[in-house]
Amino acid sequence: MKSTDVVAIALPYEMSSAGQAFQRVAQLCFGAAVLPVGKGGAYSEPCKTIKMMCDLGCNVIFTSPSYIVELMKVAKRDGIDITEKIHLDMIWLTGEGCSDAFRKKIKKMWGCDARFYYGSLECGALGIECEAGCGYHIPISHVYVEIIDPDTKEKLEDGEIGEIVVTTLLKEGTPLIRYRTQDLGYMERMECECGIELPKLYLRGRRADQIYIAGEEYAPFYVEEMLMRIEEVGENYYMNVHEDHVEVVIELSAETKYYEGIEEIISSKLEFSCGIPNNIVVVDEIPYSGKKMKRVNYVY
């Protein structure tokens, strides 16, 4: 970021440090102008956010994957061509898990780069993507990150997937020692394309969200990656987990028109790539919940 940037912070300002934290970084660290548009508060409506982004020349936004999709939908509904009227250079995605395939859809729809920012309310910043877009650089002066086996609690070697555990190094009011995030990931120590030689963190979803069907475990992170690679699938979805299959409710992509039997084709493609027994339900629109998107719901 730079001082001439106009940065929209489309993250919650209420009951969360997210909005204010990113605002401070943009203003104090970079001297950028900030649009504190929020994310669904009393005065924070997506149509107002779109208008401000258009009128004030916003070129950077911090928000969640589901909200950037919602902003795109609202703009489309209001007849605003987002790539024509809003010239974004960068979307910083945070607050929700997001697969690389989902990120690619977001990049395509907004016509700009999109990077992930990994953090938590409890610990603050935990990982930031560089231009390589592959894994997170850890802010090691702020946090000490370890990967442990969630069952034995033993520390794992590089490359082994386990639970991400964080010790904060600078927090005075609420210090945390080996805080268990319930997020899954692994670390690697190979030099990044950007030149940084320090360890990188790779996320693999949330431990509590894993899907269990007929004795098999499926990672929603991986299911989303495979779902979003299917060209017929749009930018919004959720999954209802049943005992013997998962019902995946989707919208179709803008380029795809509905035809009889499309559900079977998408279902087959999804099962091919990740093995999950599934039933596809196509809907015209999945309404924005106004809250943090919950992609996995257990219905049994």
The footprint of other proteins (CB under 8 A) covers 261, 264-265, 267-277
* Smallest distance from other proteins to CB 226, Å: 9
Name which of 33 and 213 has its Cβ closer to other proteins.
Answer: 213
* Smallest distance from other proteins to CB 211, Å: 13
* Smallest distance from other proteins to CB 210, Å: 15
Name which of 240 and 279 has its Cβ closer to other proteins.
Answer: 279
Rounded to whole angstroms, the Cα distance separating 99 from 205 reads: 9
Return the bridge partners of 188, or none: 200
Name which of 166 and 276 has its Cβ closer to other proteins.
Answer: 276
* Smallest distance from other proteins to CB 273, Å: 6
The answer for 246, left when phi > 0, alpha when psi is -120 to 50, beta otherwise, is beta
Nearest to 262 by CA among 287, 289, 239, 280: 280
Burial class from Cβ neighbours inside 10 Å (0-12, 13-18, 19+) for residue 145 reads buried
CA distances in angstroms from 17 to 113, 123, 197, 260, 295, listed in the order given: 25, 11, 30, 47, 23
- H or E segment at 263? helix 262-274
Return the bridge partners of 167, or none: 144
Name which of 194 and 265 has its Cβ closer to other proteins.
Answer: 265
Name which of 66 and 267 has its Cβ closer to other proteins.
Answer: 267
* Smallest distance from other proteins to CB 242, Å: 16
